[in-house]
Amino acid sequence: MKHLSVVLLAVISLSAGQDRQTFTGTITDDMCAGVGHAQMQMGPTDAECTWACVIAHGASYVLEDGKTIYMLSDQTTPDTFAGQKVTVVGTLDTGTKTIQVESIEATE
């Protein structure tokens, strides 16, 4: 019985970290995140640089909030929002800093 209690507490603790959250930041790519697009110069705008890095160089879309860079589980939807400030809803895997994306919307 004591063993079952410990297991249940562990499961509850793990599932508590999987709550849906809202993240706000800019859709960019993992090559330019943190350093900006000026160094890469893959296009005249941040969006075009992001697309070029993803398409031509195999980069991945990420969300950058100014402090943290989050990988995104969905690599299709961010294409529409490259270079834009967005709100992402999903669950965060803190070990990999990956957001399991439920939705992405442009912010005003």
**Alpha helices per DSSP H over 17-95:** 46-57
Of the candidate CATH numbers 2.30.30, 2.40.50, 1.10.3470, 1.10.540, the domain formed by 20-106 belongs to: 2.40.50
- What confidence tens digit (pLDDT) does each residue in 52-99 have? 999 999 999 999 999 999 999 999 999 999 999 999 999 999 999 999
- pLDDT over threshold 90, residue 9: no
Q: pTM of the entire structure?
A: 0.79
pLDDT for 23 beyond 80? yes
Domain ranges of the chain: 20-106
- 92 contacts 70 by C-beta, under 8 angstroms: yes
pLDDT of residue 2: 59
Q: Which residue has the tokens 């705008």?
A: 45
